[in-house]
């Protein structure tokens, strides 16, 4: 409730009551619909976007490691018989 007082106080002191009322109304509507204030909603969406980006990076690294592992396995399969015949 305290978060909603800011726009109202600003409107009264700044003389822009309609702007404050609209801001309060929108904030209240967002809070009621999502359970979060607008700034909490923005923070949440930003964190989700960052998490998706991190997951993509992890997946890309895992693919690279998998490719490298396959290449090494293939190389060892080729080299192992040659090395065993030389000993």
Q: What is the DSSP string of 47-85?
A: HHHHHHHHHHHHHHHHHHHHHHHHHHHHHHHHHHHHHHH
Percentage of the chain beyond pLDDT 70 is: 80
Per residue in 26-68, pLDDT tens?
A: 999 989 998 999 999 999 999 999 999 999 999 999 999 999 9
At 29, list the tokens: 């509507």
pLDDT at 3 over 80: no
Q: What is the pTM of this model?
A: 0.54
């Amino acid at each position: 409730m305290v978060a909603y007082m800011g726009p109202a106080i600003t409107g009264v002191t700044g003389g822009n009551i309609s702007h404050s009322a609209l801001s309060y109304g929108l904030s209240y509507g967002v809070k009621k619909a999502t359970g979060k204030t607008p700034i909490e909603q923005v923070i949440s969406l930003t964190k989700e976007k960052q998490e998706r980006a991190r997951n993509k990076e992890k997946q890309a690294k895992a693919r690279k490691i998998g490719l490298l592992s396959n290449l090494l396995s293939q190389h060892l399969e080729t080299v192992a018989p040659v090395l065993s015949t030389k000993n």
